[in-house]
């Protein structure tokens, strides 16, 4: 139950920080229509999940739930997607890696499109 509380708190903090950072970054570096805010948040989230995962592989601590699943999960799910892809790469599952990336992108775009069109009716 303690892990769930940590994930809840970290997720809330990560979500708020993502919103603030993304908006600030987009205003600071408004380059045409490139989503710079989301891009920067995703890269930072990927760096942080790598850093936290590396640390907690050495030292098991319940704060891993707050920082990895909670904070990084709330900050950006792209970091989790990227970490899973690195794990597939490291374990030599190249076919699954390619399939996961391809299906995630294609079906993710399709799901957004479908949701947008269903909400019009």
Predicted structure pTM score: 0.78
**CB of 85 within 8 A of CB of 70?**
no
Binding positions are 73, 76
pLDDT averaged over every residue in the chain: 90
The alpha carbon of 19 is separated from its chain's Cα centroid by a whole number of angstroms, namely 13
**For 68-80, what is the mean pLDDT?**
90
Q: How far apart are CA 39 and CA 99, in angstroms?
A: 23
The H or E element spanning position 94 is helix 94-118
Q: How far apart are CA 31 and CA 39, in angstroms?
A: 12
Q: How far apart are CA 18 and CA 48, in angstroms?
A: 13
5-58 per-position pLDDT tens digit: 999 999 999 999 999 998 898 888 877 777 888 888 989 999 999 999 999 988
Number of H helices, E strands in the chain: 6, 0
Q: How confident is the model at residue 121 (pLDDT cuts 50, 70, 90)?
A: low
State the sign of the Cα–Cα–Cα–Cα dihedral 10, 13, 19, 23: negative
Question: What's the longest Cα–Cα distance across the chain?
Answer: 52
How much of the chain, in percent, has pLDDT values that exceed 90? 59
The H or E element spanning position 11 is helix 2-28
Binding positions for Na(+) are 73, 76
């Amino acid at each position: 139950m303690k892990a769930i509380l940590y994930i809840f708190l970290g997720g809330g903090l990560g979500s708020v920080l993502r919103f603030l950072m993304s908006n600030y970054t987009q205003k600071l570096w408004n380059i045409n229509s490139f989503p710079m805010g989301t891009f920067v948040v995703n890269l930072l989230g990927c760096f942080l999940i790598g850093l936290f995962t590396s640390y907690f592989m050495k030292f098991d601590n319940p704060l891993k739930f707050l920082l990895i699943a909670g904070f990084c999960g709330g900050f950006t799910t792209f970091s989790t997607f990227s970490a899973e892809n690195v794990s597939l790469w490291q374990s030599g599952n190249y076919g699954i890696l390619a399939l996961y990336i391809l299906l995630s992108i294609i079906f993710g775009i399709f799901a957004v499109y479908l949701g947008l069109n269903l909400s019009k009716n």
